[in-house]
Amino acid sequence: MYTLYFAKTLLMPLVVALLFALLLSPLVRVLKHYFVPRTFSAIVLLAAIGGPFTLLGIELAEPAQKWASRLPELSNQLTQELNNLNDSVSQKAKPAAKEKGFFSFFSSEEEAPPPSDDNPLSQRLTQGSLEVLISALSATPLVIAQFLTFLIMTLFLMIFGPHLYHQATEVLPQVKDKQYAANLVDKIQRELSRYILTVSLINTGLGMVTALTLWLMDFDDALLWGALVGLLNFAPYVGPLISVCILSIAGTVQYGVGWDALLPAAIYFSINLLEAQFITPLVLGRHMRLNPLMLILWLILWGWLWGAVGVLLAVPLLVCLKLVADQLNILSPWVALIEAPA
């Protein structure tokens, strides 16, 4: 855990690249049977996946920039509300003014100082906003480097990874059953690809239904919110909770403070409840069953280790480790705990 925490900037792109390589390698292997070179098929597959995401990012860039430009306005409104709350609490805390009389002659009562613009709440909020902005700007070069590392490692794993693995099973003396070791990764690839593709399709459908519903409500930037809730749904329990909070804030901005502001969040919550309780268990079945308590503990652990990226990667990593343990017949008590019924 010490290594995972302090080496996260190096390990995060490698783990993401490994998951993508496990997901796409079966397609590369199928194309190889049709005499398509691995290098060509790997580049085409990455372009086929990255192309739609690039177009979606271009489409969402304008509304995202619009909401980002409104952040100072929202921050000022929040600061004003906090200042008003702080002033009201301070005024209620002051003792009632004494009635003027004989004893007022001996009292040295001073007038209250005028309210200062340098409110501690607004200062702290402004300071926190600047810290977030500075940290985001300083992390940009690192994010670009990690993205390039992810692309290069994914290509090399899809092109040279299978041959290197099969060569290692032949050369390393620790591997006793060569055929079983060769078939192990193939089976894990199929199961993990099935899980990731199924969950991706479900989350895409959730985002599309949410975006369509918000668009029918004439809600601003419905496509942006649909894409956001679809992405956050990769983190069970935590992602939907964050989506409800974000949609509540967006509803407050558009409809003002009132019950109408909670309508978009309530609609999304209903759609997500239908997906989580009926669609996902029906499609995935009991084979990919995960205990909710073990899952939330796993999410908290990886959120502490790797932040938001760790939360998004936690479930695929847990499924991958469970598949490996099942195939190798190891850690059976832990697998039973992970699959324990709710």
> Residue 184: phi, psi to the nearest 5?
-65, -50
Instruction: Please give the mean pLDDT across all residues of the chain.
Output: 77
pLDDT above 80 (res 123) = no
Higher pLDDT, 338 or 241: 241
Mean pLDDT of 229-240: 86
333, two tokens: 């008590």
Kindly indicate the confidence band of residue 102, based on its pLDDT and cuts at 50, 70 and 90: very low
Question: Rounded to an integer, what distance in angstroms lies between the CA atom of residue 120 and that of residue 316?
Answer: 43
Cβ proximity of 339 and 316 under 8 Å: no
Question: What is the pLDDT, as a whole number, of residue 212?
Answer: 93
pLDDT above 90 (res 222) = no
pLDDT above 60 (res 95) = no
The residue ranges of every structural domain in the chain are 1-84+122-175
Mean pLDDT of 235-247: 87
Question: What is the pLDDT, as a whole number, of residue 107?
Answer: 46
> Residue 256: phi, psi to the nearest 5?
85, 175
Question: What is the pLDDT, as a whole number, of residue 338?
Answer: 80
Question: Rounded to an integer, what distance in angstroms lies between the CA atom of residue 60 and that of residue 58?
Answer: 5
Residue with tokens 């921050």: 75
Which segment of 82-86, 115-119, 203-207, 317-321 scores lowest on mean pLDDT? 115-119
3-state secondary structure of 119: coil
pLDDT above 70 (res 215) = yes
Cβ proximity of 165 and 29 under 8 Å: no
